[in-house]
Amino acid sequence: MTITPLMPVYPRCGVRPVRGEGVYLYGEDGTQYLDFAAGIAVNALGHGHPALTKAIADQAATLMHVSNLYGSPQGEALAQRLVDLTFADTVFFTNSGAEAVECAIKTARRYHHANGNPERHTLITFKNAFHGRTLGAISATDQAKMRDGFEPLLPGFAYAQFNDLEGALALIDANTAGFLVEPIQGEGGLATATPEFLQGLRKACDEHGLLLVLDEVQAGYGRTGKFFAHEHYGIVPDVMAVAKGIGGGFPLGACLATEEAAKGMVIGTHGSTYGGNPLAMAAGQAVLDVIQGEGFLDHVTTMGDRLRASLEQMIPNHDHLFQEVRGKGLMLGLKLKTDSRRFVAFLRDEHQLLTVSAGDNVVRVLPPLVIDESHVAEFTQKLSDAARVYVPASDD
Ligand code: PMP
């Protein structure tokens, strides 16, 4: 491969969007795409949402950036809203999901350090998880394709099978700090935690003095029809990483923690030049206004149910290709009987429909949360048109 000005870590793709409006993206040549990928669960409000773009423009004209050294009324205001709405007592703002995960890992380590147990540094994480591409995050991610050639990785992680409670508990030893887990594995193909599994991890944390760290970077912020996915399980974490939907497209993430779990995160222990700057906070406030607006989460649930029902109805007509529907709310996956990367490319190039593949054979369906019934109908039509004519490769 020859080098390109943009480091060539992503495959080249024919879609080169230059404009977005609502649930649609427009390519350089004007081609319209129905965007059921939403920047991988980022554009929760779709493209060009007037309240979000206005909030960013107004803030940019007022004060774009100032160092966290000078205090942050904008950060305090958004953090207070998140604290009021969640289990958390305190928030650290970041620029991405991986940084939110890094902050969560550091918070867990510092908690045990502050308790006089620095040997309790190991987080138990799960197969097929995805936590980001920084060194700490890939160390937490037990996937060779993301780790090869980056060794030595960060020590202090142990790996269990997702949804195998007994296997996870068997790994607890004198060095265990807690668990780091996605309630629904996004990149891992929409594997959804069972209630027994997440509730069992919570119970084990309480019994052994461990921390439950949730990665809700993809599943959080309204995507599953609850503000956070763990609300489906009747449990709360001690620490949680959030990103993607929180900024609606503005690069923003957050690490939320209880007062107890954050006891080690004192002055000087962590920081970020940009994290929580006024522009990011303006975006965060505008997104939260919409997500917390009356009926919004119910709308996500209703649209999720419709979309799921449409997908399930389609399976018998295309059972050579489709296998099952997974996920919750508008975080859905369609498991194929064949390679999903090729099918996702076919949907994109031949039917102007944007989705994302996960694992080897799951098509992720992650539309903006503001879709309406007409978008569900359009998606369903395009998908079934595509499935009718699609010919899987013989080696898929
Ligand atoms: N955690 C999860 C669950 C994710 O899905 C992702 C991104 N797909 C990340 C962490 C990393 O987020 P970012 O790419 O913003 O660093």
Predicted TM-score (pTM) of the model is 0.98
Provide the pLDDT for residue 1. 57
Ligand 1 site, residue 131, Cβ cutoff 6 A: yes
Boundaries of every domain in the chain: 17-49+294-389, 63-291
pLDDT digits (tens, 9 = 90+) for 98-110: 999 999 999 999 9
Tell me the mean pLDDT in the region 50-62. Answer: 98
Ligand 1 site, residue 249, Cβ cutoff 6 A: no
Q: Which atom of ligand 1 is nearest to the CA of 253?
A: 15
Tell me the C-alpha distance between 227 and 215, whole Å.
14
CB-based contacts of 159, cutoff 8 Å, min separation 6: 124, 125, 126, 127, 142
Distance 96 CA to ligand 1 centre (A): 7
On the question of pLDDT at 389 being above 80, the answer is: yes
| Neighbouring-strand partners of residue 180 | 213
Q: Exposed/middle/buried for 362, CB within 10 Å: 0-12, 13-18, 19+?
A: buried
Tell me the mean pLDDT in the region 357-372. Answer: 96
Tell me the mean pLDDT in the region 75-99. Answer: 98
Q: Which atom of ligand 1 is nearest to the CA of 219?
A: 3
| Neighbouring-strand partners of residue 192 | 184
Tell me the C-alpha distance between 36 and 30, whole Å.
18
Distance 132 CA to ligand 1 centre (A): 5
Other beta carbons within 10 angstroms of residue 48's beta carbon come to 14
Tell me the mean pLDDT in the region 185-213. Answer: 97
For the chain, give the percent of residues with pLDDT over 70. Answer: 99
Query: CATH topology for 17-49+294-389?
Result: Aspartate Aminotransferase, domain 1 (3.90.1150)
Q: Which among 40, 182, 213, 217 is the best mutation to test ligand 1's pocket, defined by most ligand atoms within 8 Å of the CB?
A: 217
Whether 265 and 116 have beta carbons less than 8 Å apart is answered as no
Tell me the C-alpha distance between 84 and 234, whole Å.
18
Distance 138 CA to ligand 1 centre (A): 11
CB-based contacts of 234, cutoff 8 Å, min separation 6: 195, 199
Task: Please say whether the structural domain 63-291 has been given the CATH code 3.40.50.1460.
Answer: no
pLDDT digits (tens, 9 = 90+) for 118-143: 999 999 999 999 999 999 999 999 89
Report the nearest-CA residue for atom 13 of ligand 1: 97
